[in-house]
Structure 1
Amino acid sequence: MGRKAKKTIDVEKWKRWREQGDRQAEIELIEQYLPLVNYVAARLAIGLPDTVSRDDLVSFGRFGLLDALKKFDYMRGLQFETYAMWRIRGSMIDGLREVDIIPRSVRDKAKKIEEAYTALEQQHLRSITDEEISGHLGISVKELNQTMQDVSFASILSLDEPITDDEEQKHSRQAVIIDERAERPESALHKDQQKKILAETIERLPDKERTVVSLFYYEECSLTEIAEIMGLSASRISQLHSKAIFRMRGALNRSKESLLNE
């Protein structure tokens, strides 16, 4: 859906609702775009544990759709579907966070790996290898890869809504990679700087990680689709995705610390 031809919106219907308070027009818009909720739920569920209910995702997503309908600027001639899917996905992720389905042990593992990437890449000023990370953590590469797969769900939930409501400014979802347990980088780091730092970090990612990021965040492919495209297993794609997330969040953390120490 994200890659289909651009659709035009029914401006008159939007005007009837938003300017004239036409309740029927509102109902028609909700019914028209409700399938987006099921679409986003199906794609998001691919990377989530079986214990996550699809019905729960749909329920969370409906709030996101209503929020998108209220906030969308229909006079700008932009595509509502793209904007709404951001809002719907963000609402689903917020809902999952609220029910706190990530075990403490997984959170702890994710934190240790993120700290390792931040420290080692700051020290060496380059992308760190699996061997270097595993050595720093005192585990084998095999154990590291298994841990990466374990924390892949946590890394997916670390993706928040876009940092701007401006459709023209949303170049990719990677601009909002945030650690919810830490002080948000935007409190100390300007958003334009975040985008620049993340863009530079993506360029320095190892080839496979950069491909996963491009397909997942720019082309909106699911992890399963990426696995088929790259000829790798879904678990391997999850590992590559987690590594890329930790590198990018580490770059943000280093920049925030540098700014605070100036």
Structure 2
Amino acid sequence: MSPSPRRVDQLWLDYQRTRDERVKADLARACMRRVYAIAKKLRAEMGGVPSLQDLVDAGLVGLMEAFERFDPSRGVYFETWCSWRVLGAMRDDQRKRAWASEAVRLKAQRLRRAAAEMASARGRAPTDEELAEALSVSTAEVAELWRHVERRRPVSLDSTHEEGGADGDPALADRRADPAQLLLAKEARELLLDALKELPDKQRYTLLLYYFEKLTMAQVGRVLEVSESRVSQLHSAALRTLARRLGPRQDELLSALGV
């Protein structure tokens, strides 16, 4: 049975007065059920995409911050304040993970482009050592980026939103493919990714999360902290901007998104 809000408040007051680590541990235990409940609810709202443990870990960071920042003069129970801080920490963590995912994806894009250009120039696939030198990174980072490329489900140039995958794209499923095939499969995709980089942040993230990460519009809204209707507006505006920038090739290139 969970302790009452008044009991939790009393534990917080005891901790503030004594700074006793044992009291702090009792306070943390009293709040853990709430942290797990918030994590489970948020995970369900996001379609089960995030790891429950990742959410709980982030929530614990928020919990520790709540211990130090709670102000009883605000007129709310500590448990209520704690819930706000925990949920906020979980959402912040998910946003950071989304941005980090984009950073890795952009690095992988540079790797694929370099591999295609070097393959075209040399008539053979480059080694990881050659790619590392060209990109000024370590061979270990090149290997890790290739693993990222190979485990990601790429956007197929002839598939819908729900279809496609690494097995259907020989240029990415086998990075040692013939250079001509490699370039043919990647040209439209690279042009599209370049155009995406020119979009305003929220429009770009909307398309990346929806088409590349395969989130629903509701899930995208939760990551960006906007309503689902706002996500729909961002989505439409982004596609209109892309269509203008891609010019006569817009139909071919937008098909890469399954539009």
TM bracket (short chain) = 0.3 to 0.5
> Larger radius of gyration, structure 1 or 2?
2
> TM-score if structure 2 supplies the norm length?
0.41
Flag the structure with more relative contact order, 1 or 2, with Cα contacts below 8 A and sequence separation at least 6.
1
> TM-score if structure 1 supplies the norm length?
0.40
